[in-house]
Amino acid sequence: MHFCREIARRNRELGLRLCVGLDTDGEKVQKMLGASDVYAAITTFNGAIIDATRHVACAYKPNLWFYLARGVEGYRALIWTVARICELGFPALLDAKPGDIGNTSEQIAKTVFDAIGADATTVNCYLGGDAIQPILDRAEGGSIVICKTSNPGSAEFQDRLLIVSEEDLQELARGSLQQTQLSILLQFSGVKLWQVVALRVANHWNTNGNCGLVVGSTFPEEARVCREMVGPDVPMLVPALGSQGGELVASVKAAVGSDGQGVALFNVSRAIAGASTGSDFAEAAGKKAEWYHRAITAALAT
C-alpha cells in the first residue's frame, strides 16, 4: 500500500485515527504470560493486542528498539508482528528514527522495507535530506520525519530561533507563502528550527507524497501552527496521548485543522497495551482502545 494515501483513506472514509503503539517489553511479557521464551511471549502478547484493538485502529506502530533489546528472538518477533499487522490489512509504521549517510542510508531503507517489511518508518533528518533520500525514494513507503517531539527536552534544539529572511522562507515554501502564512511563522517571536523542518518536508522532500511529520501531543499549539503551514494532506503522527500526558482534545483539533480534514495518526502505546498486567490484558487493551477512539471522534465533533 501507499502508506500516506492509506492513512488518509482510513481517516476520511472510515473515521479511524488511532495508532496503537506496540512498545513490547519482551522480558516483562514473558514473566506475565509465563512463556517459555521471549519470541513466544512477544508474539502471543502482540497478537492478542492486535486482535483486541483492530476494530478501532487505523495503524500499528512497533518500536524497533524494544525488540532489538531482546536479541535475535526479539528481532524474529518483530518480523512476525509486522507480518501479522500487514496480513490483517493494516499499515505498519516502524518507529526507528534512523538517519545516516551514503551506503548506510541505503541499508536502512532495505532493512525497514525489505527485511522487516514495514510500510513506513519515523526518520531523523538532522543530517540533511541526502541522509534520508533512500527512504524517501521508496515511493510507496512512508517517511515520517521528526519535527516537534513530545519530550520536555525537545526545546533544546527544536525551538531554537533562527535568522531567516522572508526570501529564505519563500524558498523553503517554493514561493507559496502568503503574508498571512508569514505572520503565522513569525508569531513565536521568530522562526524556529522545527518550522524550517516542516516547510522543508512539505515543500521539498514530499515529491512522492509519502512524507509525514511527528508533532507531539504535548505541544498542541505547535501542532496547530504546523498544520496551517503544511496543509491538510501531510500526515501528522501525534504521539504521547497516553502515559506521557498529552492533551487529547486540543491535540486532535490542532492536528486535523480548522476544517477537520488534516490527516493524522494519534498514537497511544503503554496506556493501551499496558492497560492490564493480568490475564485480562487483551480485553483491557480493547476497552482502552475503544475509549481513545471515542474520545478522538468526540474531539473532532466539537
Other beta carbons within 10 Å of 291: 15
Predicted model pTM = 0.93
Task: List the catalytic residue out of 61, 97, 253, 288.
Answer: 97
Is 97 a catalytic site residue?
Answer: yes
Mean pLDDT of the chain: 92
Straight-line distance from the first to the last Cα atom of the chain, in angstroms, rounded to the nearest whole number: 32
φ, ψ of residue 214 to 5 degrees: the values are -95, 120
The dihedral sign for the CA sequence 85, 238, 155, 210 = positive
Which residue from 253, 287, 248, 294 is spatially nearest to 267, judged by alpha carbons?
248
Check residue 154 and give its pLDDT: 93
Check residue 152 and give its pLDDT: 87
* Residue 124 pLDDT exceeds 80: yes
Domains of the chain: 3-159+210-301 (3.20.20.70)
* Residue 274 pLDDT exceeds 80: yes
Other beta carbons within 10 Å of 128: 11
